[in-house]
Amino acid sequence: MAKVAFLGLGVMGYPMAGHLVAAGHDVTVYNRTATRAEAWVAEHGGALAPTPAAAAQGAEFVMSCVGNDDDLRAVCTGESGAFEGMSSGAVFVDHTTVSARVTRELYAAARDRGVSFVDAPISGGQAGAENGVLSIMCGGDEDAYARAEPIMQAYGRSIKRLGESGAGQLTKMVNQICIAGLVQGLAEGLHFAEKAGLDGRAVVEVISGGAAGSWQMSNRYETMLDDKFDFGFAVDWMRKDLGICLSTANENGASLPVTALVDQFYKDVQNMGGGRWDTSSLIRRLRALDRNN
């Protein structure tokens, strides 16, 4: 088993780090809000470090799951950052959804220190993290990925290297682009069913086994019909991710008209006070429009 550091104990990181302990790894954690790390240690054991550098000291693998580009830079190269504490030959695995630009920047900074850097954003939501069945899309050097993959198996069901540094983040962008359109389509379909006087549950029972079926339909339709959105991946985080997608599309020339439109729909949800609602709350926007007409 390996000596592992885990940086960032949010909705995703908290259970992921717990799965590492359950798999028999020696885990030290760091979290910006120390009380969260203290609660994790009380639940799972392991050790608590006061800084990323201290957590990374002696670790063979350092995993991170933080908020955005700036947060990742801070835990890697900021004051008492993880790179400062990592030994030559160690592997840094980043599970945050960030830009390919910052990924490549930190890959180069890690290489200069004799450290490997694997970008490994995740998909599967809070339930996927809690159940240890995340999809993990990776970029970076083949040897570093090969070393890190067995560690990620503690919480990943589908793990794949897609290419060089940044390829994992670019693949996560594809994931979010696809999800945006799917959720909007599902929201419109369920809203139409409501307006047509149909039983939404019966409708989904019929259509989910055909071409319209999707993970979003199977896992979100009931709570969408019940108007419950206090779980899962928040709108604020989705807008952060879609912003990365749209910015990257401006750089590579990709056309993303549906993604840009759904991003604005999520902005409307934020303006309704729904920044922390689950992303399936797009249907609440449609219901609000209906009431206002």
Q: Which two tokens stand for residue 105?
A: 């920047």
Whether residues 210 and 72 fall in one domain: no
Same domain, 160 and 184: no
User: Do 189 and 125 have their domain in common?
Assistant: no
End residue of a domain, out of 146, 164, 182:
164
Number of domain units in the chain: 2
Which residues are designated catalytic? 172
Looking at the fold, whether 193 and 273 belong to one and the same domain comes out as: yes
What residues make up the domain containing 217? 170-292
117 and 28 within one domain: yes
**Cα(175)–Cα(190) distance, integer angstroms:** 22
My answer on whether 159 and 216 are in the same domain is: no
What integer pLDDT is reported at residue 190 of this predicted model? Answer: 98
Report pTM.
0.94
- Output the domain CATH number for residue 58: 3.40.50.720
pLDDT in tens, 109-160: 999 999 999 999 999 989 999 999 999 999 999 999 999 999 999 999 999 9
Task: Please tell me the distance from the alpha carbon of residue 191 to that of residue 175, in angstroms, as a whole number.
Answer: 24
- The answer on 143 and 223 residing in a single domain is no
Q: What is the pLDDT of residues 51-65, one digit of tens each?
A: 999 999 999 999 999
- Domain closes at, from 116, 131, 164: 164
Q: Do residue 185 and residue 266 come from a single domain? A: yes
Three-state secondary structure of the chain: CCEEEEECCCCCHHHHHHHHHHCCCEEEEECCCHHHHHHHHHHHCCEECCCHHHHHCCCCEEEECCCCHHHHHHHHHCCCCHHHHCCCCCEEEECCCCCHHHHHHHHHHHHHCCCEEEECCEECHHHHHHHCCEEEEEECCHHHHHHHHHHHCCCEEEEEEEECCCHHHHHHHHHHHHHHHHHHHHHHHHHHHHHCCCCHHHHHHHHCCCCCCCHHHHHHHHHHHCCCCCCCCEHHHHHHHHHHHHHHHHHHCCCCHHHHHHHHHHHHHHHCCCCCCEHHHHHHHHHHHHHHC
The span from the CA of 40 to the CA of 59, in Å, is 19
Same domain, 158 and 196: no
Q: Which two tokens stand for residue 28?
A: 């030290």
**Could you tell me if 31 and 155 lie in one domain?**
yes
Q: Domain check: are 140 and 255 in the same one? A: no
Last residue of a domain, one of 127, 147, 164: 164
- The pLDDT of residue 150: 98
Do 120 and 155 lie in a common domain? Answer: yes
> Tens place of pLDDT for every residue, the chain, 293 residues?
899 999 999 999 999 999 999 999 999 999 999 999 999 999 999 999 999 999 999 999 999 999 999 999 999 999 999 999 999 999 999 999 999 999 999 999 999 999 999 999 999 989 999 999 999 999 999 999 999 999 999 999 999 999 999 999 999 999 999 999 999 999 999 999 999 999 999 999 999 999 999 999 999 999 999 999 987 789 999 999 999 999 999 999 999 999 999 999 999 999 999 999 999 999 999 999 988 87
